[in-house]
């Protein structure tokens, strides 16, 4: 197994589990809860992607445009007649290069979790939920995770500071955790 991946997996396990537990509290087969999930995810994803782009992520992953998911999630929300909160990226700080690798580990790894969540959402009786899963299915059939792990290992071989990468990953998980908590608390009232 990829040593950098093992390190990041081990050092972020607790935070990762908290985020997974929050997401599992939503019944994605229910239209209102699916929208709350998308809104929270859109807020977190948008901030993390903005920070990565301010950090020059294209130099780390030249295929970044193919990996970026903000447009997909915004399309899902628009098709569900739901609005995403406006993104104010001016208040975000760029990641260091090492931190960016950690944030990318979270985003790229979240595709695996998205497969599980997609299975839950596909049981919806709401046709517009089933028709709008661009975010959850983004990158299906492509070797994005495998290619990311190769790039991460190469970065680790070129002196990637794993504790700093872990800080970037923890920051990304915290962004998702905060968005999910806020939307779980307030989102269902508004949907």
Whichever domain contains 180, its CATH number is 1.20.910.10
Range of the domain at 33: 3-190
Portion of the chain with pLDDT greater than 70, in percent: 95
In this prediction, residues 39-68 reach a mean pLDDT of 96
In this prediction, residues 67-82 reach a mean pLDDT of 96
Number of domains in the chain: 1
| pLDDT (0 to 100) of residue 92 | 77
What would the pLDDT profile of 129-150 be if each residue is shown by its tens digit? 999 999 999 999 999 999 999 9
pTM of the model: 0.94
**Do 117 and 28 contact (CB within 8 A), yes or no?**
yes
């Amino acid at each position: 197994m990829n040593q950098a991946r093992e390190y990041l997996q081990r050092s972020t396990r607790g935070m990762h589990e908290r985020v997974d537990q929050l997401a599992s509290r939503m019944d994605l087969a229910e239209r209102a809860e699916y929208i709350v999930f998308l809104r929270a995810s859109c807020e977190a994803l948008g901030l993390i992607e903005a920070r990565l782009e301010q950090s020059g992520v294209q130099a780390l992953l030249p295929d970044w445009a193919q990996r970026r998911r903000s447009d997909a999630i915004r399309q899902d929300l628009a098709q569900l007649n739901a609005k995403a909160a406006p993104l104010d990226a001016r208040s975000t700080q760029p990641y260091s290069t090492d931190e960016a690798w950690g944030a990318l580990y979270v985003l790229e790894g979240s595709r695996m979790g998205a497969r599980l969540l997609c299975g839950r959402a596909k049981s919806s009786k709401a046709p517009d939920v089933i028709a709008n899963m661009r975010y959850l299915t983004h990158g299906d059939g492509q070797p994005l995770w495998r290619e990311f792990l190769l790039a991460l290992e190469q970065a680790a071989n070129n002196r990637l500071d794993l504790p700093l990468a872990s800080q970037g990953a923890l920051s990304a998980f915290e962004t998702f955790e905060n968005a999910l908590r806020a939307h779980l608390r307030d989102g269902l009232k508004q949907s």
